[in-house]
Chain A
Amino acid sequence: MREPPDAVSADSALLPPESDESILRRHEKWFCSMRWLAIAALAALGVIGLTAKALVAPLGFHLEPGWPFLVAGVLLVLNAAYLLMARRAERSTRHAMHDRRGLWVQIILDLAAVTVVVHYVGSVATFAPFIYLFHIVMACIFLPYAQSLVVTLAAMGMYLTSLLLEGTGVIAPGSVLDRNAIPQPVQAWHAGAVMFVSGTVWYLASRLANALRQRDKRLSAINRRLVAATEERAGHMLSTTHQLKAPFAAIHANTQLLLGGHCGPLSIEAVAVVEKIAVRCEMLSRGIKAMLQLANLRSAAQDTPSPVPLDVSAVIRACLAGLQPQAAKRGIVFEEELSPAAVKAVQDHAAMIIENVLSNAINYSRDGQRVSVSSRAKPAGGAVVVVRDSGIGIRPEILPRIFDDYFRTTEAAAHNHASTGLGLAIVRQSALAGRIGVRVESAPSLGTVVTLDFPSSPG
């Protein structure tokens, strides 16, 4: 069979909203990444000052290597310290407090470093003061209105202080430009322009960011309500479906009694009727089981079983043994290529995923076809399971919907009347819980390939 061209992954789900703390922590790490770039740029400037001073001099640049290396060195030490603190904070219970305090320490020290750079590059002779704008815009994006104003005022305060110190002769004005070639601009005019642009940028960016934040908060609130409603629905579904299971258990038990001859001999016609009842009862019981599995997986109130060490190939063998009668009825033959593959996973989840995928491969194959299943360990840990059939396949436009609850394609419904339409929804939910990758590739009339990517541990 050629490789089916269309594929879909089971990674879309209604996820709970990300907390402010986690957003902050994620951004803190991003700030550190950006700071490595700034350190690299300063180091490059230092190298140019050290090795190519004569080359840039004709262009009007007067580059000393000392200050770029100094600022890069200080930032390097600070950045390493921030990352270390962030890692420690992740393991402690005081995340939020650390993140807030650590973030403000980083902002103030970054602004101090920028002020040093602006001073040496040229606080009045160049456009260096506009470097502050990066920090102002980032503050507008990531911090509330008032806090972004504090950052803007802090930046302008530091800039004005450096101008004051330069103006009063406490420190000598610095510039990378050849001061003989560049006329001295008026300090007050330059400072005013920087202040005006910074203030305008802060106003526009903070207004825009604030509007986006408000909308984000509204969306988060809606999402939270949606998650709560989904959980409530799952809880009701679990309870109601469970109540349905009892009468079916009684019907099933009584049909077994009749068919087993425990209530006396039955006529051939009566056996045929009771068999029909038993078959329908089994179908409904299977549907109820699937609904219970799904509701249980989605119910946040339920206790999630712990992951245990598993050999994926053993789980596959157990599932194949259970499905053998179903396959044999239709003359479907399994081709196994199973290598041991150790993972850590929730036993029930792994079994539900593999059983549903194999069951689908049987159900949507044609009579007498082959279903192949393979497992192998990944070199870096974890396992890959591939289930391949040559059955009816799935149309590409339908593929993105196959993990939806109760979704069945017209072809699937016609091919297998007994399907509940919940198998792949259970697969998706179990896979999300165990961080197991599920990829489905399919082509109509050619068949379907499902690849399960088990991590070494769900983490």
Chain B
Amino acid sequence: MAYLLIVEDDADFASAVGTILEKQGHAISFETDCGKTIDRIHERRPDLVILDVMFPENDKAGFQAARSIRRTFGELPVILLTAVNQSFPLGFSSKDLDPTWLPAVDFVEKPVDFALLSRKVSDILAHEKGTAGSLS
């Protein structure tokens, strides 16, 4: 079982995602304020952060949070769960495809395909576990 942090301003959507991932056996925590992401991670470090991009205060708050996570917590994996991507680049630039500029391990597009999201979460957690195992 892993601990996942979902940072999403739409509580209804976050709750639906959380329900699915809980059924997968994970512990879930929610945060609706993107600005509090770093504090929440400090409180309890998750195995994976699922992060929205557009927040009411800033269209690119999720991008900024992903960069802050990389700076503060190194390789902590982040999935961007968003309607913003290269096809719909509201505030998205081609630079955002560069992993050193936007440190997200994956994008999952809204409306979300839960089967796809569940598979990606499992793959990333398995990869993280494998990497941690090889290091120890």
Contacts and interface: CB of A to CB of B under 8 A. Distances in A.
Contacts of B23: 262
Interface in A234-249: 238-239, 242, 245-249
B86 interface: yes
Interface stretch (A167-175, A302-310, A366-374): A302-310
B57 interface: no
Contact of B19 (A262, A302, A348): A262
Interface string B99-118: 00000000000111010000
A177 B76 CA distance: 94
Interface string B1-36: 000000000101100110110010000000000000
A148 interface: no
A303 B92 CA distance: 8
Contacts of B87: 292-293, 296, 348, 352
Nearest to A306: B94
Interface stretch (A150-158, A253-261, A313-321, A438-446): A253-261
Interface string A264-304: 00000000000000000100010000001100100000110
A253 B90 contact: no
- Sort chain A's interface into a size bin: 20 to 34
Given A254-B16, A257-B20, A303-B94, A246 B89 contact: no
A1 interface: no
A285 B94 contact: no
Candidate in B90, B92, B114 with the most chain A CB atoms within 10 angstroms: B90
Given A256-B114, A262-B19, A285-B111, A250 B12 contact: yes
Interface residues of B, number: 23
| Interface SS, A side | helix
Interface string A205-243: 000000000000000000000000000000000110010
B49 interface: no
A303 B88 CA distance: 10
A443 B88 CA distance: 35
Nearest to B112: A253
Contacts of B10: 246-247, 249-250
A376 interface: no
A252 interface: yes
Contacts of B83: 242, 245-246, 249, 292
A249 B112 contact: yes
Given A246-B54, A257-B19, A262-B20, 9 more contacts: A245-B110, A249-B110, A252-B112, A253-B16, A281-B111, A285-B111, A293-B88, A305-B89, A306-B94
7 contacts: A238-B90, A249-B111, A281-B111, A292-B88, A296-B89, A305-B86, A306-B94
Interface of B: 10, 12-13, 16-17, 19-20, 23, 54, 83-84, 86-90, 92-94, 110-112, 114
